[in-house]
Amino acid sequence: MIQPRSMLKVADNSGAKLLQCINLPGGTRKRYAQLGDIIVGTVKKAEPRKLVKKHEVVKAVIIRQRKEFKRVDGSYIRFDDKELKEKGFDKIAMMASELL
């Protein structure tokens, strides 16, 4: 369950290390983001001389979360690449070594 002001670790090679969620697109009553959702965040920590700088506003996809996610078959997971494939993020799901 990701909500505004949540601090998130970044799992890519853009140069960002820490991200703070600032918005959840999808309506005014949307409170939480889960696996496969897109959020808007700002970079709080970044590596020097990389593509993304500190204080930049970026969009991100949630690939991991601590709170378990209930599937339609009744099982619970914490992170998996199948949910990303169902939402249309095939390229992210192909990078299985980063997701596991």
CB 8 within 8 A of CB 2: yes
Question: Confidence band (pLDDT; 50, 70, 90) for 96?
Answer: low
Q: Which residues contact 27 (CB under 8 A, 6 or more apart)?
A: none
Which pTM value belongs to this model?
Answer: 0.82
What pLDDT was estimated at residue 97? 54
The pLDDT tens digits for 33-87 are 988 899 999 999 999 999 999 999 999 999 888 888 888 899 988 766 677 788 8
Question: Confidence band (pLDDT; 50, 70, 90) for 22?
Answer: very high
* Domains of the chain (ranges, CATH numbers): 7-99 (2.40.150.20)
